[in-house]
Chain A
């Protein structure tokens, strides 16, 4: 099963996707990690199992914004897309910064 999000090589956006596709995104770390809150185009997303969200791409610039909490303050966070069939792709990875638990991405829907 194919992934919905593709890294944007132009540098204009973080990801691109076809309109109407649904993406499932997870957060992981070496220790426990969870989404404290998640918003897609200014609307709250339900968080499943503390670490999974899903959203559907619309035309234009979409904004996904996440607030993440991890048990180990120095942990490395991975943002993954669950592409189905046991496949995942790493969308981003970074060392946690508890000073600012917020991160976000722009996704161009076309």
Chain B
């Protein structure tokens, strides 16, 4: 398992270094033309073509507006951010029913970039855990290290990689001991010195590793289905688009044309930097472009009587453009999602297990709610001891969940979740007792590792109610839950528990 994690980390790092590095963040909107300019020879036709676009403030004029505002975002990012904020289908924290997980059901999506989560509680386990989970997407991580945008319209990600995500959970509360031999008493008052004692040990805190493959996830903004839905929507809303286009034209004309069209000094400025950029070495291009754009801003501030207001109007035009996407949101919400997940669990004092989970989610009414279902099977891992009274197959699981945003479904403050979980366990649970522990009820120290069966085989049922609070536009969510179980894995008694967690979806931070 450790080798697998190291190999995965090496793979991601090596892939990241193979992609081109990013430019200055204020120039990121110019990246395509900058890359072409830097990769072409001074004076070449390719260089001239790129420079023509770079020096033309009305070629994708939001680039200039964003430079003048000092923002590193673009129109589509605002809409993607709104979409990401409205989603209820992401599994950020520990996978369902893992140690310390607050979830009975694994949701069908994972963050496109990173997710971090901590949670306290347990659902199927007798012993509660406290775990921290790091979740990431292979394509998102590579693109982030390389300075590439993770989500944008037209950015479909790398085939295969965008469907793969992983999660590693670490148990924050796990304790362990090791047996040590003493060297006799340290003073005369200690007449009977123990020959061995148990010392606290550096705990092996790894709790679980999860790998997930999104079989069909049209809510992933990088998927072709998502991009196609965008295309169909824009065709069906032609008149709306035309109106939005006119609004954009109005705001851009007021911001740019007073100097682009009417200032007699502007053509000389453009000609000066066109010549410089055409002949510049690759390493000087960004600095020259920044200088040119800064001079454009100075000229614009001089020529546009209410420059700052015009900038805000441009931004407002984009914001109102974003508001018209409700129909597209509805269409995307109505599409089903399928994922497959593998989890290696290393529970406290129990054999490691391999869990294979199939995840389905749908929203047939296209509203804010989401119905998710999981079907899973768990196998015991590792070598079996001689004469084991249990088989490789540990259990079957089925779980279902309904999530309903509370309040505005696009910008909700909380999500109510109702979930049910059924597990059929083939044999009683297996408990490992390490050498050095006492045989229960005696003072006899176990000379070697032992295994006992606890609990019973049969059906375990759990129901859960949960409210997940969302801190506005931050990507931070706080799930608070209560669950009832007819039994746990080691004990047969009913069990009522509280759960709390904290998750952070970095997709929101990166504005997509």
B-binding residues in A (CB < 8 A): 10-14, 36-37, 39, 42, 44, 61-63, 65, 67, 69, 71-74, 92, 94-106
Q: Assuming the A-B contacts A69-B241, A73-B153, A102-B61, are A11 and B274 also in contact, with contact meaning beta carbons closer than 8 angstroms in the complex?
A: yes
- Rounded to whole angstroms, the CA-CA distance of A63 and B263 in the bound complex is 13
Rounded to whole Å, the gap between the CB of B379 and the closest CB of chain A is: 43
- Rounded to whole angstroms, the CA-CA distance of A100 and B252 in the bound complex is 12
Q: Flag if B241 contacts A65 (CB, 8 Å).
A: no
Rounded to whole Å, the gap between the CB of B245 and the closest CB of chain A is: 4
Q: Flag if A98 contacts B76 (CB, 8 Å).
A: yes
List B117-164 residues whose CB lies under 8 Å from chain A: 152-154, 156
Contact of B253 among A42, A62, A71 (CB under 8 A): A42
Residues of B within 8 A of A101 (CB): 245, 248
Given contacts A11-B271, A71-B231, A73-B154, 19 further A-B contacts (CB under 8 A): A12-B267, A37-B245, A42-B257, A63-B58, A65-B249, A65-B252, A71-B235, A92-B52, A98-B230, A99-B75, A99-B153, A100-B61, A100-B62, A100-B63, A101-B245, A102-B62, A102-B249, A104-B61, A105-B58
- Rounded to whole angstroms, the CA-CA distance of A67 and B253 in the bound complex is 13
- Rounded to whole angstroms, the CA-CA distance of A104 and B29 in the bound complex is 17
Residues of B within 8 A of A12 (CB): 267-268, 270-271
Contact of B62 among A44, A61, A71, A99 (CB under 8 A): A99
A-binding residues in B (CB < 8 A): 29, 32, 52-53, 55-56, 58-63, 74-77, 152-154, 156, 227, 230-231, 234-235, 238, 241-242, 245-246, 248-249, 252-253, 257, 260-262, 267-268, 270-272, 274-275, 278
Residue of B nearest to A10 (CB): B271
Q: Flag if B267 contacts A67 (CB, 8 Å).
A: no
Q: Flag if B58 contacts A104 (CB, 8 Å).
A: yes
Name 7 interchain pairs, CB-CB below 8 A, sorted by A.
Answer: A11-B55, A65-B249, A98-B230, A100-B61, A102-B62, A102-B252, A105-B59
Question: At the interface, is chain B mostly helix, strand, loop or mixed?
Answer: helix
Contact of A106 among B60, B77, B260 (CB under 8 A): B260
Residues of A within 8 A of B271 (CB): 10-12
Q: Flag if B260 contacts A94 (CB, 8 Å).
A: no
Q: Flag if A73 contacts B61 (CB, 8 Å).
A: no
Q: Assuming the A-B contacts A73-B154, A73-B231, are A99 and B74 also in contact, with contact meaning beta carbons closer than 8 angstroms in the complex?
A: yes
Residue of B nearest to A104 (CB): B58
Q: Flag if A105 contacts B56 (CB, 8 Å).
A: yes
Contact of A100 among B52, B75, B246, B270 (CB under 8 A): B75
Rounded to whole Å, the gap between the CB of A12 and the closest CB of chain B is: 4
Q: Flag if B60 contacts A102 (CB, 8 Å).
A: yes
Q: Flag if B61 contacts A99 (CB, 8 Å).
A: no
Q: Assuming the A-B contacts A14-B52, A97-B154, are A102 and B248 also in contact, with contact meaning beta carbons closer than 8 angstroms in the complex?
A: yes
Residue of B nearest to A70 (CB): B231
Residues of B within 8 A of A99 (CB): 60, 62, 74-77, 152-153
Q: Flag if A65 contacts B253 (CB, 8 Å).
A: yes
Residues of B within 8 A of A98 (CB): 76, 153-154, 230
- Rounded to whole angstroms, the CA-CA distance of A106 and B262 in the bound complex is 11
Rounded to whole Å, the gap between the CB of A98 and the closest CB of chain B is: 4
Rounded to whole Å, the gap between the CB of A14 and the closest CB of chain B is: 6
Q: Flag if B59 contacts A104 (CB, 8 Å).
A: yes
Query: Among the interface residues A99, A100, A101, A105, which one has the most CB atoms of the partner chain B within 10 A?
Result: A99
- Rounded to whole angstroms, the CA-CA distance of A36 and B248 in the bound complex is 11
Residues of B within 8 A of A104 (CB): 56, 58-59, 61
Q: Flag if B227 contacts A61 (CB, 8 Å).
A: no
Rounded to whole Å, the gap between the CB of A5 and the closest CB of chain B is: 14
Residues of A within 8 A of B32 (CB): 95, 97
Rounded to whole Å, the gap between the CB of A104 and the closest CB of chain B is: 3
Residues of A within 8 A of B52 (CB): 14, 92
Residues of A within 8 A of B230 (CB): 73, 98
Rounded to whole Å, the gap between the CB of A102 and the closest CB of chain B is: 6
Rounded to whole Å, the gap between the CB of A89 and the closest CB of chain B is: 15
Rounded to whole Å, the gap between the CB of B351 and the closest CB of chain A is: 49
Residues of A within 8 A of B53 (CB): 94
- Rounded to whole angstroms, the CA-CA distance of A10 and B231 in the bound complex is 39
Q: Flag if A100 contacts B260 (CB, 8 Å).
A: no
Rounded to whole Å, the gap between the CB of A63 and the closest CB of chain B is: 5
Q: Flag if B154 contacts A74 (CB, 8 Å).
A: yes
Q: Assuming the A-B contacts A67-B248, A73-B153, A98-B153, are A103 and B270 also in contact, with contact meaning beta carbons closer than 8 angstroms in the complex?
A: no
- Rounded to whole angstroms, the CA-CA distance of A10 and B272 in the bound complex is 9
- Rounded to whole angstroms, the CA-CA distance of A97 and B61 in the bound complex is 12
Residues of B within 8 A of A14 (CB): 52, 56
Residues of A within 8 A of B74 (CB): 99-100
- Rounded to whole angstroms, the CA-CA distance of A102 and B230 in the bound complex is 18
- Rounded to whole angstroms, the CA-CA distance of A37 and B238 in the bound complex is 11
Contact of B262 among A61, A67, A74 (CB under 8 A): A61
Q: Flag if A65 contacts B261 (CB, 8 Å).
A: no
- Rounded to whole angstroms, the CA-CA distance of A106 and B275 in the bound complex is 17
Rounded to whole Å, the gap between the CB of A100 and the closest CB of chain B is: 4
Q: Flag if A11 contacts B261 (CB, 8 Å).
A: no
Rounded to whole Å, the gap between the CB of A25 and the closest CB of chain B is: 15
Residues of A within 8 A of B234 (CB): 69
Rounded to whole Å, the gap between the CB of A45 and the closest CB of chain B is: 11
Rounded to whole Å, the gap between the CB of A107 and the closest CB of chain B is: 10
